[in-house]
Structure 1
Amino acid sequence: MSGHNHGACDSHTDGVFGKRTELIFSVLSGVFLLIGFLLQQFSELKFLFVLIPFLLSYFLGGYYTAKEAIHEISKARFEIDFLMLVAAIGAAFLDKWAEGGLLLFLFSLGHALEHLAMDKAQKSIEALTNLAPKQALKKIDGQFQEVDLNDLEVGDILRVRPNSTVPADSILIHGRTTINQASITGESIPVDKLAIEGQDIDIYAIDSIPDKYRAFAGTINGDATIELKVIRKAEDSTLSRLIEMVQQAQDKKSPTQLLTDKFEKFYVPAVLILILILNFAFIVLDEPWSASFYRSMAALVAASPCALAISTPSAVLSGIARAARGGVLFKGGKPLEDLGTLTTLAFDKTGTLTEGNPKLTDVVLLNNTSEEQLLSEVVALESSSNHPLAKAIVRDGEMKLPQNYELPQLSTSEAIQGKGITGDINGKSISIGNLELFQDGESPDNEIAHQISRLEQAGKTTMLVKSGTQFVGILGLMDVPRKSAKPTLMRLKQLGIKEMLMLTGDNQFVADAVANDIGITEAYGSLLPEEKVSKIREFSSVNKKVAMIGDGVNDAPAMANSTVGIAMGAAGSDVALETADIALMADKLEVLPFAIGLSRKAHTIVKQNLWISLGVVALLLPATIFGWANIGIAVVFHEGSTLVVVLNALRLLAYKSP
């Protein structure tokens, strides 16, 4: 039951009965074994007729084992599949067909169960491909036609409709829009994008293109129809790379698995030498060679570390499969084992602990204006805009106004890109925007400028409101903590996480405000990406193990330097996903306690499996050498222990967050 049996994994994928061929072969092997045993015990038939079901049992139970053994021998490796075949052939040589058949049946059943766990993991991952847009609107001979995403080439012109996903990394060539790119950059407020008009831009020098012209694959277009030029093929998108990463995860072994693999390398040849020596026991003992040979075959079964070889990979695969079903991607056995041992977590703020969406948090009244009057005019004007900040003001402003309140009549409105919006309400001009909007007219006085500065220092996005000739109010918008943040952090504390730290590029005021609200142990603000790395290294030197949880490009270096890097959201930045060891697929912070709990459970099951497998070998080997146990007993205990560790590992598939 080799932990590195990729040959078997490949060979079992398709067969006479499709993907379940290996399991069906194994069950049929058991059926023919039972028929042969019953005929041998209770019928008067000639042995030739009894032999037929045994031969069928041998063929069906040994088919994939032989395939794997041949694959390994061709690479000059003698592994457990080979030992099992030798033992089964040896049993047949001694006319112990039932015992040999039982060995191959139980061995193949264990193999099949291992592969079922692998398939479950694969299916969970294949479901991800459904998240990617399948088609794009490409310009062909002046007309936009739907084409398959994989047919896109660098330089193709695409049209993206309002509120649609951008299909590939591109630059804007026509139209203006705001794009929600929180999934890529971690910015909490959607970004204004402009078309490159009449500029000579090298689309192959991607990094030199200013961000204001770029649209990333997987980001969400605002309410405008835009045209884009592709700068990266669709197959380089986040999702396709994500699926590729999971397939690679199956090859990344856990520390325990690497240890057992190393042990097997020396153990298997040692077993073969022992079996050879036992064959000559008849020289020393008063017994025929057939008795020595039988003892050596029984010892071979007892000493084969099937349960040991499968104990870790079966637990790792079951853990990865269960995690994928729960919306968590573990990239291999190492992060699965490591996560459960951590007591320190470091979080990025924007989009990780906060929603990544603006909320209207402050309404400052100026020049004796009432809140009702200010908000009614603001909501009336902003209702005509599709800008994300305008939508936030309308949504939150309406909630502050009395129910069934009638908004004043808006006659005209004009959006000024990057500055704000102006309009006329009941013959009076209204303007809402940043300080740049009011540069040409009368500037706000020092008191107003001071209030704006105070809000901005607290991490707020500010908008000044002018009604007629007077400044009547200041609006403050901020990215607020996720609703799930506080209960999740409390849950993590209950799980035994001692320190929860926040590392953010936002100023210290914002960091402290969010930290106090949700229960972060310590907050560090105004950090550049390299300063986040320094902090992680600092924690690591004290606590040895620390996980970094983030979602943006600026979190990737810190993730790479942590014990375990955790990326928020499958649509997170490409760099963060590449660097992270674990991805929270649905961008849900609340699945973090589940991931930690699952990791701890997997770690426990791996340890249990190692004790079971080594314990059985330690008991059985002396018992067979000294003749206290025959092949039948050795097979039942040995293969029984293999099934026990597989079934124990499969318990992870039913894991529920405590």
Structure 2
Amino acid sequence: MNKVHAWLRSHWAVPTVSGLLILASLTASRGFGSELWGDILMVAAAVVAGTPVVLKAVRALTAKVIGIDLLVSVAAIGAILVRNYWEAAAVTFLFAIGHALEAATLNKTRSALAELIAVAPDTAIVLRDGEQVEVGAADVIPGETVLVKNGTKVPVDGVVSGGTGALDEASITGESIPVEKVAGDKVFAGTIATGGFLQVTATGVGADTTLARIIHRVEEAQDAKAKTQAFMDRFSKWYTPGIILLALVVGLLTRDVVLALTLLVIGCPGALVISIPVSIVAGIGRGARDGILIKGGEFLETSAKINAVALDKTGTLTEGRPQLTDVIALDPDFSEDDVLRLAARAEAGSEHPLARPIVTAATDRGLPVLGLPEHTEPVPGKGIVALVDDQRIAVGNMALIRVEQADTRETTDAGATAVVEELAAAGRTPMVVARNGHVIGVVAVADQIRHDAAEMVRRLHGAGVKKVVMLTGDIEPVARAVAAQVGVDEVRAGLLPEDKLEAVAELRRQGYTVAMVGDGVNDAPALATADIGVAMGAAGTGVAIETADIALMKDNLLKLPEAVSLARRTVNNMRQNITIALLTVAALLAGVLFGGVTMAIGMLVHEASVLVVIVNAMRLLRKRADKADARFAEAGVPSPDRAAAQRA
């Protein structure tokens, strides 16, 4: 009984009943010669299929909306009034069939969202009072220990506190190669254990998990309208009344009611109305499967126009884990250890990314770095000045040292300028160390260039990006050394956060549509100024997922050109759909005016065009292999992104 009720509520119930009544009508009239029963059954078929359409049209009219349902309703009722029962039944039956097929295929375009919802875990096994207890995933208390066994889903976001294992993180990052997890690693709800046994300390539960945020983001994005879609909505508000007026004028001029009603049917802008949203839903869904979250249709359209990409150097083009490479003493009274110790003592109170490798290297050498400086004064874009044991220690570039020397009347740099230039030319970041304005040495750090940085730039150019610009606070020689290896088109070095903002604004003034890729902290002003702000490695970062125009869940540079390419394909798909819809309407109008197209044929072609548009959009759901990956495969080696995943 439940199955019967479920079927009656399905999209296929109305067209099935209507179709059976049409068959019964044809059997009665042609098989048994009963025209009366044939007409009654045909009208019944039209009523069954047409009633939902009329009700929708009435509801739309109460909301002051004139839509497709009104056109079909008027045409069907008019056909019945002129005793053209077959046309009335055929039009409403075909419209019901089209609606059912449209609903079914639209559900497929939303399959990415359905898959995300499907991977959301329902239960969790937690340790409570030393016992394993099964509870609802949403009932886990943050801080509790959750057990993740082989073959089960991770029910919460958390940190591995014990055990080892491998997780398939495809639902979050789009990468299907399992990732090894050990103590201290982050895990995400919805990922699947493919081996091992993990004890996880819960940090995010229910709506606070990364998966929940992704689902929420995709739901909002698929419903958000693109600028073109908003225009088409406005166009439809005028188009539909225009078709009604055209049919009325043609009917009055020709005295042919059937011709006027046929114009109403073939003028339905169904394919036109659905042409854009179905492409947006499919494109955003494809992106979600691949770990690319796009905020909505408007941002998808803008991303398709991207022709300039601005990138931060540290943490984007480089690994973001600099290490100390050189310690050079320039004053004979100071050893290398003395230079490093004083630099580390000063940097102990700094939040700058380059402070950590200096402090770490000093600690590894057994040098005393305990305690914080008495006073710390960061100098943006130059370095840091700290008071250490009543001595003023400056660590930074030559501009900072000159400021310090101006205060102490020191003038010599002890050869520091030449050393700085030599180290910078080698791609290292040098920092001069001065005590009370007197230069005592130079320390240098280097950040390894990411293995896929050059390939990313190449793919961006292949995707239609004209200019790739590096924006960095590092000095010019270091920036140029990195740029030479990566292949960027332009380098802007020595920039403060406000300088990066101005650089992005300048690119926009030059007519570029700019995407800015950054960490969302130091680069926040530039990200806000760019046409599209891109956050990388957003998994587990709720703020990035919610605020970035495009959030790349995996810290994978190759996802950036993939996102641009997806946006371009989606917009091209939208244009193809609009063309199909307009050509169909034009051809049908010509067919009606010059003869040969009936009301039923018009509705059949109209519904066929709707399905063609949807099927065309569904092509976006297919995984598109990159040509570069194919070349790597032919050579028998993994592509850079696959190699990175294997190393992870």
Name the TM tier (shorter chain).
Answer: 0.5 to 0.7
Instruction: Report the Cα offset of residue 91 of structure 1.
Output: 3.6
In 2: Cα distance, 1:554 partner to 1:160 partner: 35
Q: In the alignment, which residue of structure 2 is the partner of 1:80?
A: 68
Does the CA-based 8 Å contact 2:452-2:558 persist in structure 1? yes
What SS does structure 2 have at the residue aligned with 1:481? coil
**Structure 1 residues 129 and 364 mapped into 2: Cα distance closer, same or farther (>3 Å)?**
farther
Query: C-alpha separation between the residues in 2 aligned to 1:217 and 1:652?
Result: 30
Matched AA of 2:60 = E
Partner residue, 1:208:
none
Structure 1 residues 34, 119: CA separation in 2 closer, same or farther (over 3 Å shift)?
farther
Alpha-carbon distance in 2 for matches of 1:327, 1:120: 15
Q: For residue 236 of structure 2, what is the aligned residue in structure 1?
A: 264
Who is 1:307 aligned against?
271
**Counterpart residue identity of residue 532, structure 1:** K
Residues 300 and 227 of structure 1: CA distance in aligned 2, closer, same or farther (over 3 Å): closer
Tell me, yes or no, if structure 1 residue 650 matches structure 2 residue 585. Answer: no
Task: Say whether residues 1:274 and 2:238 are aligned partners.
Answer: no
The residue aligned with 1:533 is: 501
Q: What SS does the corresponding residue of 1:501 show, helix, strand or coil?
A: strand
Task: Say whether the 8 Å CA contact 2:303–2:564 is kept in structure 1.
Answer: yes
How far is the alpha carbon of 1:629 from its aligned partner? 2.5
In structure 2, how many angstroms separate the alpha carbons of the residues matched to 1:528 and 1:341?
Answer: 28
Q: 1:353·1:481 contact (CA, 8 Å) conserved in 2? A: yes
1:330 equivalenced with 2:302 (yes/no): no
**2:532 corresponds to which residue?**
564
AA aligned to 2:581 is S
Q: Does 1:116 align with 2:107?
A: yes
Q: Matched residues in 2 for 1:433 and 1:553: separation?
A: 32
Deviation at 1:611, TM superposition (A): 2.0
CA 1:72/1:605 → structure 2, altered by over 3 Å: closer, same or farther? same
Q: Is residue 107 of structure 1 aligned with residue 79 of structure 2?
A: no
**Does structure 1 conserve the Cα–Cα contact (< 8 Å) formed by 2:294 and 2:549?**
yes
Give the counterpart of 1:431 among 366, 384, 398. 366
Structure 2 residue aligned with 1:499: 467
Report what 1:201 is aligned to: none
- 2:638 corresponds in structure 1 to none
Aligned positions of 1:187-198 closer than 5 A: none
Q: State the AA in 1 paired with 2:280.
A: V
SS in 1 for 2:293: strand
Report how far residue 554 of structure 1 moved: 3.0
Residue 108 of structure 1 aligns with an amino acid whose one-letter code is H
Query: Any conservation in 2 of the 1:36–1:51 contact (CA below 8 Å)?
Result: no
Q: Which residue of 2 aligns with 1:250?
A: 222
Aligned to 2:117: 126
Question: Structure 1 residue 506: deviation in Å?
Answer: 4.5
Q: Is the 8 A contact 1:340 1:603 kept in 2?
A: yes
The superposition leaves residues 138-175 of structure 1 with CA deviations (integer Å, 9 ceiling, x where unpaired) of 9x9x999998775689xx877899xx999599xxxxxx
Pick aligned residue for 1:16 from 3, 6, 9: 6
Question: Once superposed, what is the RMSD of the aligned Cα atoms?
Answer: 5.2
In 1, Cα distance between equivalents of 2:498 and 2:281: 35
Quickly say closer, same or farther: Cα 1:61–1:119, change in 2 above 3 A: farther
- 2:223 counterpart SS class: coil
Deviations 1:114-142 (A, max 9, x none): 52244314224436756x9979989x9x9
Query: Structure 1 residue 542: deviation in Å?
Result: 0.3
Q: Deviations over 1:324-353 (max 9, x none)?
A: 222222222222222222221112234432
Deviation, 1:419, is 8.3
Cα 1:332/1:275, change in 2 over 3 Å? same
Mark the CA change 1:528 to 1:448 in structure 2 (over 3 Å): closer, same or farther.
closer
Query: Are the structure 2 counterparts of residues 112 and 234 from structure 1 closer, same or farther at C-alpha, using a change threshold of 3 Å?
Result: closer
Report the Cα offset of residue 257 of structure 1: 0.9
Could you tell me which amino acid in structure 1 is paired with residue 239 of structure 2? Answer: Y
Q: Is the 8 A contact 1:65 1:108 kept in 2?
A: no
Partner of 2:602: 634
| TM-score between both structures, scaled by the size of structure 1 | 0.63
AA partner of residue 544 (structure 1):
Y
- Which of residues 609, 614, 637 in structure 1 aligns to 2:577? 609
The AA in structure 1 aligned to 2:98 is: F
After superposition, the C-alpha distances for 1:373-430 in whole angstroms (9 at most, x for unaligned) are xxxxxxxxxxxxxxxx9xx99xxxxxxxxxxxxxxxxxxxxxxx978657xxxxxxx7
Partner of 1:353: 317
In 1, are the aligned partners of 2:137 and 2:155 still within 8 Å (CA)?
no
For 2:74, what is the secondary structure of its paired residue?
helix
Deviations 1:434-453 (A, max 9, x none): 6989999xx9xx99999998
Q: Which amino acid aligns with 1:119?
A: R
Relative distance call for 1:322 and 1:53 in structure 2 (3 A) is farther
| Mean Cα deviation higher: 258-267 or 640-649 | 640-649
Paired with 1:128 and 1:354, the residues of 2 have a C-alpha distance of: 34
Aligned counterparts of 2:187 and 2:112: Cα–Cα separation in 1: 26
Does the CA-based 8 Å contact 2:243-2:267 persist in structure 1?
Answer: yes
- Determine helix, strand or coil for the equivalent of 1:543: coil
Identify the residue that residue 320 of structure 1 maps to in structure 2: 284
Note closer, same or farther for the CA distance 1:38–1:555 as it changes in structure 2 (3 Å cut). Answer: farther
Q: Secondary structure at the match of 1:640?
A: helix
SS at match of 2:517: strand
| 1:95 counterpart = 2:85 | yes
Q: Distance in 2 between matches of 1:644 and 1:111?
A: 10
Q: Is contact 1:29–1:105 with CA below 8 Å preserved after alignment?
A: no
Give the partner amino acid of 2:599. I
CA contact (8 A) 1:344 1:543 kept: no
Q: 1:523 to 1:239 in 2, by over 3 A?
A: farther
1:194-273 to 2 correspondence within 5 Å?
A: 235=207, 239-273=211-245
**Structure 1 residue 514: deviation in Å?**
2.7
AA matched with 1:111:
E
Distance 1:33 1:488 in 2: 60
Distance (Å, rounded) in 2 between the aligned partners of 1:625 and 1:475: 83
How many residues get paired?
509
Answer whether contact 2:125 2:133 (CA < 8 A) is retained. Answer: no
Quick check: 1:554 aligned with 2:532?
no
Report the identity percentage.
33
Report the CA distance shift for 1:644/1:234 in structure 2 as closer, same or farther (over 3 A).
closer
* Consecutive unaligned residues in structure 2, runs of 5 or more: 148-153, 160-171, 173-184, 190-198, 330-352, 374-387, 394-412, 432-441, 628-648
Shift of 1:540: 0.4
Q: Which amino acid aligns with 1:431?
A: G
Q: Which secondary structure does the structure 1 equivalent of 2:555 belong to?
A: coil
Contact 1:551 1:573 in 2 (8 A): no
Deviations 1:542-597 (A, max 9, x none): 03311112343333432222222222133265444333222222232212333222
Q: For the Cα contact (< 8 Å) 1:308–1:610, is it kept in 2? A: yes
Distance 1:48 1:133, change over 3 A: same
Distance 1:166 1:295, change over 3 A: closer
Structure 2: distance between partners of 1:455 and 1:217: 43
Distance 2:201 2:419 in 1: 37
Match of 1:339 in 2: 303
Secondary structure in 1 aligned to 2:558?
helix
C-alpha distance in 2, partners of 1:81/1:59? 14
- Residues 576 and 45 of structure 1: CA distance in aligned 2, closer, same or farther (over 3 Å): same
**Corresponding position of 1:192:** none
Q: Between 57-66 and 114-123, report the one with greater CA deviation.
A: 57-66
Q: Contact (CA 8 Å) 1:261, 1:309: kept in 2 or not?
A: yes
